[in-house]
Amino acid sequence: MSDDHGTIESLSSLAHETPDTYPPSAEFRAQANQNNSEIYLRAAADPEGYWAEQARTRLTWTKPFTEVLDWTNPPFAKWFQDGELNVAANCLDRHVANGLGDRVAIHFEGEPGDSRSITYAELTYEVKRAANMLTSLGVTAGDRVAIYMPMIPETIISMLAVARLGAAHSVVFGGFSAESLRARIDDAEAELVITADGGYRKGRVSPLKPVVDQALELDDADGKPSTVKHVLVVQRGKNDITMESGRDLWWHEEITAYDGEHQAQGFPAENPLFILYTSGTTGRPKGILHTSGGYLTQVTTTHSDVFDLKPESDVWWCTADVGWVTGHSYIVYGPLANGATQVVYEGTPDTPDWGRWWEIIQKYGVTTFYTAPTAIRSFMKVGRQVPEKYDLSSIRLLGSVGEPINPEAWRWYHEVIGASQVPIVDTWWQTETGAIMVAPLPGLTSLKPGSSQIAQPGIAVSVLDESGDKVDRGQGGLLVVERPWPAMVRTIWGDDQRFIDTYWEKFGDKYFAGDGARLDEDGDVWFMGRVDDVMNVSGHRLSTTEIESALVGHHAVAEAAVVGADDETTGQAVVAFVILKSQQQLLTEAEAEAELKKHVASHIGAIARPRNVFVVNELPKTRSGKIMRRLLKDAAEGRTIGDTTTLADTMVMQTISDRVVAER
């Protein structure tokens, strides 16, 4: 944690209202998957036994495990390591074998209005064919396949086909730039990229294949050419693209050569399942590695218990993109391994208008719905008259993820979407945790708007002070996970040392999550945001350092500092302060703002585009030359500037805050 960011003291003193609580209704409780609080005690008494039982009862193993956890070489955990399973067969074949082949797995809703419903039997068939196709493209166990796709069924089919072969996928969110995509392809040394010509977003086709082309044409980092041999292209947007002969193949042309016969093979529980890149505190994204048996155990368990899943009657909808971990765990692996029926929607919530999501809920009778606070706040802004036009009475449970949900948004969600009666589960977890860690169990927990409340059975979290002691109730500190958990990150791809340094250096054998949290008088956990150089914009993690590096990469920029400032809709927003190379008169201030926003978007991706770029003459620095971002955050949020006495030049902040005020 850097010394110029949010401190524990500031977390403890945050104003905190006494919450009203929402106990589960008698009816909900009676039918809930978990309605006996003894589960917490039972799991705490024997966490390994608890997880072993989940692994055995929820999953199908081709070779049963005898060892539950190997923690002899911390922080490198091995769960169920002598067991073998096929992750894709757990999501597909076994449901078909159990007579559930006719159940709809996916109700796909395209943004332009096309839709198709795919049963478990059909999805199994498609994944088997795709697995055969990938095999003849040379994909075998242990390989990495990059996936750069819109939200369409072929994305899920691709992920499952890769998993079926014992290879690992690296899904790169379709909003990332060519440069970001290339860095991820290089880091994972992927030989195959699966993409689409384009996908629909905001009523237009957003091109993807051209970005792949650009990525593969970029100068090779470290003089090494790209490892990519083939690019497989799904036709979706019908936009004009070029196909490089010998390298690029159309999915719909290739697939016709393959049938649906494919015998899934079991792979060791610790076989890599996927790498997912996430922003860290340095400029270089971290390849979070997840493996098979433990991951699948915890995503199925939490998907079933936290969302009270009834696979035979529920219609699940998680609005995330599969490019993020939420999509991996609660669109692909958890729901499919649990045999759920779900909605997958391609586009944005405001296309063609802000009624789109509610119309989809009405159309498919969605029962359980999982989204992010930033989306809820956008809908609040538009007004309740929009959702009120639709029949949302099928909804029986709501979920939230991505950032702390402010009590006001919680209450609106409860009242307007949940008819003032359905439970809301606020789920805290991370790319690294793989699955939900802290969340209510809806049949047991009296809900408090704004709190994730309680660790899942079999999980132990604590809030510690800087010296590693547990804080008292009513106090704030740093969140840690006490023991290894099945879905935990296994390492940072190719960088064990960074894995150790990032998460385990601070508190030894306890996992340091990077989040501030506060315990209330009942011991419930209230998350307070990141304590490191990571911002949370619309529930997406962005690194201040990565954006700063992009900015100083621009020829007109001499220095840059980036902060995450509070934003009414997106939670935090990227606010940049830059010093231009003045002598050169390269850009006027007005040009600079537009140009630099564009520059960041094209280098990292549109999600990283700064809300504001302020051109300043000076940045606040300590006498040792460290930029004091905390003061810039004060200015960006319109607060009185904090203590400036350690600054080398105490007048700097006055000038900067005048500049920010002028802009407002």
443-470 burial, b if ≥16 CB within 10 A, otherwise e?
bbbebbbbbbbbbbbbbbbbbbeeeeee
Please check whether residue 242 is in contact with residue 233, taking contact to mean a CB–CB distance below 8 angstroms. no
Q: Is 86 in the site for ligand WT7 (CB under 6 A)?
A: no
Question: How far is residue 563's CA from residue 535's CA, in Å, rounded to a whole number?
Answer: 8
**Inter-helix orientation angle 544-552/589-603, to 10°:** 120
* Nearer to ligand WT7 among residue 307 and residue 428 (C-beta): 428
Q: Find the binder of ligand WT7 among 166, 539, 610, 620 (CB under 6 A).
A: 539
Encoding tokens for residue 574? 């990227």
Listed in sequence order, the DSSP H helices in 398-472 are 407-412
Choose between 317 and 429: whose C-beta lies nearer to ligand WT7: 429
User: 615: how many CB neighbours lie within 10 A of its CB?
Assistant: 21
The three-state secondary structure class of 438 is strand
> Tokens 């796709």 belong to which residue?
149
Asked if 450 and 404 touch (Cβ cutoff 8 Å), the reply is yes
- 536 binding ligand WT7? (CB under 6 A): yes
Q: Is 530 in the site for ligand WT7 (CB under 6 A)?
A: yes
Would you say the C-alpha torsion 491, 493, 496, 501 has a positive or negative sign? negative
For 168, phi then psi, to 5°, come to: -115, 140
Q: How far is the CB of 8 from ligand WT7 (least distance, A)?
A: 15
Q: Is 527 among the residues that bind ligand WT7 (CB under 6 A)?
A: yes
Q: How far is the CB of 451 from ligand WT7 (least distance, A)?
A: 9
Sketch the per residue contact string, 433 through 472, with ligand WT7: x for CB under 6 A, - otherwise: -------------------x--------------------
Find the shortest distance in angstroms from Cβ 536 to ligand WT7: 5
For 516, phi then psi, to 5°, come to -85, 145
Return the range that interacts with ligand WT7 (CB under 6 A); candidates 12-20, 104-112, 228-236, 420-428.
Answer: 420-428
CB of 30 to ligand WT7, least distance (A): 27
Neighbouring-strand partners of residue 195: 148, 233
The answer to whether 342 contacts ligand WT7 (rule: CB under 6 A) is no
- Please report, as a single letter, which amino acid is at residue 385: Q
Peptide bond into 74 cis (omega under 30): no
Pattern 486-525, ligand WT7, x by CB under 6 A:
---------------------------xxx----------
CB of 480 to ligand WT7, least distance (A): 12
Q: What long-range pairs does 218-227 form, CB within 8 A, spacing at least 24?
A: 218/178, 218/179, 218/182, 221/182, 221/183, 221/186, 224/186, 226/182, 226/185, 226/186, 227/185, 227/186, 227/189, 227/190, 227/191
Q: Which of 430, 453, 462, 570 binds ligand WT7 (CB under 6 A)?
A: 430
Measured from the CB atom, the residue of 40 and 173 that comes closer to ligand WT7 is 173
Helices (H), 194-279: 209-217, 251-254
- Selected from 271, 319, 427, 657, the binder of ligand WT7 by CB under 6 A is 427
Give the footprint of ligand WT7 on residues 29-48 (CB under 6 A).
Answer: none
x/- mask, ligand WT7, residues 357-396, rule CB under 6 A, reads: ----------------------------------------
Buried b (16+ CB within 10 A) or exposed e, 625-661: eebbbbbbbbbbbeeebeebeebeeeebbeebbebbe
Minimum distance, C-beta of residue 548 to ligand WT7, in the bound complex (Å) = 19
Give 22 or 65: the residue with its C-beta nearer to ligand WT7.
22
Question: Residues 597-636: x/- map of binding to ligand WT7 (CB under 6 A)?
Answer: ----------------------------------------
Q: Which of 180, 195, 278, 341 binds ligand WT7 (CB under 6 A)?
A: 278
Residues 236/157, Cβ–Cβ less than 8 Å? no
Position 87: which residue type?
V
Minimum CB separation of residue 478 from ligand WT7 in Å reads 11
Q: How far is the CB of 310 from ligand WT7 (least distance, A)?
A: 23
* Binding-residue pattern over the window 398 to 417 for ligand WT7, x denoting contact by CB under 6 A: ---xxxx-------------
Min dist. Cβ of residue 574 to ligand WT7 (A): 15
Residue closer to ligand WT7 by CB (options 8, 196) is: 8
CA 485 to chain centre: 18
CA dihedral 148, 152, 153, 158 (to 10 degrees): 0
Chain residues binding ligand WT7 by CB under 6 A are 278, 325-326, 401-404, 426-431, 452, 513-515, 527, 530, 536, 539, 541
